Structure 1
């Protein structure tokens, strides 16, 4: 969500860059001056008082000009979303559990990193905390022994204060450095009854381990499914430990030990100057809900600027510049135009929060940050409950997170609220894909048939229905080798566009060109990410059962239920389409084997005369819409 920019006295703007629109007044003012001079020259050619000519009165002309200027300024201020004051607003907390283990041993007072390792580490942790959202964080300090300084908490401000004074708390633990004890104590901090689904440990140390249990503790963390991220503080050259003049002991950062701990647990090793990037790694993990809370939200005040702007536009029209029917007709037209403009601007200002939330969700979705995208989309649903296009996005994002049951629930709820056939077809297609991912092929068949009833020419739905029907038929119905695949279908639809725009998608268009819904149609953000972070070739692609083949049938090839090889019996394109439409309309109740074979044969014949785009295309079957 775009951050508001404070200005003065509590005033801030939610869309500050909109203020640049005021610059349009400069060329407009220049044109007005040129027009005034042209009129003056024209008037000078005639005799008599200028006020009597052409029904114009100069004072009213000036009033009109200045009222328009003021109206434009106020309109721009309204679009910039002025805010002041705050109010309580519900906020859902979702995140992961993080245990930070901070080294406070004497070697951390070394100054090879200025001003010292401990100060630099505290600053790095503070920066990391600023990038977290609703995650619970606990703190462990350690040297020769580990000590839990703070349990898991959502109050990151207080935790930051504990981090800043951590080195002064070193007297709470004996001297030395025991990385194993730090990892075990961090595991204990994470062992809470309401543990999040994803938990991580972050060890910040110079790596000089005087114990011998670091890798064993790392193995225990790995067995618990907790990755350990390690952050190195210090240089390879090192420096003398302060207060140790007798031995002149040199402390050097041991990166190999830290890297080995991270590798053993599936975590990652980083330098201190890259610690902020760990926040991104954390956001990629599956989020858990920590309950609802209330937070302070700025109060939108755009109405205070929008209403005067509309009144200023109406002012010269009400006063009027000349009498007569023509003037009254123009005034009525201007009143209508002003009303429409005011309504549009009111909607734009009022819907800007929803638009921004969905746009932020789209940006996160495009970068494969699906947990973050889900948070933004759900916040958008709170801002506009029941919006079907946003619910569609939620379902698609849950699919990417492999939470297929939840994806079906979200998309199904969106389908009950939709009143547009285009969006209904997209949601129905998504529900079919969610069902395939869950292994519910009967439901998938029903969903794809529903899409084809809306648009019988939908190539992707036909391709997916053909695959589903082939899997639903018993082995004795069809060809000798019905499972031989020719392409790999994708599994999850990409979040879709809201209905109602002139240049939006239709089921006939290539759905793969679309992206997450941003509240508008057309070319918006949201091209489909080509690869998930785990290296999967098709994001969200369902994993078939062991030993099964990937779906797909080569257009025109033999399929289960083919009845004839006689070329004279082939249907024309129009006949095949008409027969398929009639068969879909005749379906009632559960699909019988005979009906399945008939549908499969009709789809095969239609594929033979009109190759399917869904199979073997750039999008494949089960593609994103």
Structure 2
């Protein structure tokens, strides 16, 4: 025990001694006043009336309680004199995965293809990354960021399926640009050290070796994809990729060059395998580097002190037990208990997770209604309400948002609610804030086309309605003219023979029967016109732009319309990379002849 280092970790708890001593003095004074028989009895008679032994015994619980309370207060103050060794090192390693998306990755010398196999391996690496930060970039003629450094590996894994060689704006195998982009990601995160994993099927050593020397403190490991025999590159339109001379290109894996490049980057090289041996070798090398870094930081200690207060509580417990029968212990607890707070209904999950965390779990389980109730963040709440089909509530949650993403989400909610014109205005607002929002442009075009289509359908229904109405009026005029002709003929021939009259009557009945048969299609036309009129009314109701609570039919129609919007993350990445490539103003170039 080093008394020179003795101190209290929480010294302000010692202030509790003052109110406790004051209460203890009041209790003793009250007890003495209750036992002061000298004020009412002669002093000569007191020795015969009082039992001195019982009085002395009754003071023990008070004394024991006072000592126990004092020990408890000192324990809460946290007495200490011993320093605990606590290393500063924490595993916050950073890994940037650089995936080659040049055309040669479409070769099928390994099944199903080089690129698909590389994506499988990256997914396996992400599953085994328990801690640390990870980023993903792709490169061909130039390098682009898919996801920056993050500890959320699930986000990176969700992007892998959208990666293909067609999303790159320029072809080639510009390894130097991949190194440059990786270093940029490290510096953006404020990291001076990190590891780079290059997943590729070949490099140009004349340009890659000078570039790897600029990595400095960043370790480079390489995972080679392909075989030494190689395979031709199939084109989407058929045939195989050819060089300038018309020869079929057969890219081969040069393992020796990749191994030299990895050694220059202080890392390891491993050719891709059908099992996990390749990624285990690469990850083991990274783990050794992390452990070495941890040993170097073991001599850096924090000022963490061993709290000796719990040992004093062990001494206070038996003393507190003596006071329990007298009720003094319950009174002493009142001194250290905090003031009462408002009570709320508390569930089991509330003890371990916040409402936003519970809402996030409900969102992942697709219980969007519950998530919308629990989310406190308005953007998250709006996202859950959108998924739950509560578009009006989602719009209400997004009212306060003034960002481009907020306006974009408002447009999506309005489109789902069938308010197409308002949705277009929301997309225009998002584009006014961020003119380069490709998603807003795409959705705006789709909604505008759908709105134009609906207008044409409404006009066509109106024209059909007018045409059917005109046809029914013409039919009525023809019937009236036929009736007037018959009346004239009967007036001109008032006297007829019985035979002729009977034949005329028979002809009249046949004519009326013919007329009845002729009126049947007319009645059908009028019924069809009425039916089309009712259908038009129903359709207009379904297409009404403002509706507080959309009907099930309208909801189903909106969902069917939204299903027409293609979910194309690869297309979004392609437009994003193309825009970034144009902003950089670089000319298309590559290190390996365009593949």
Superposed pair shares fold, TM > 0.5: no
- In the superposition, the TM-score normalised over structure 2's length comes to 0.33
Choose between structure 1 and 2: higher helix proportion: 2
- Which is bigger in relative contact order (C-alpha 8 A, separation at least 6)? 2
Using structure 1 for the length normalisation, give the TM-score: 0.31
Which structure has the larger Rg?
2
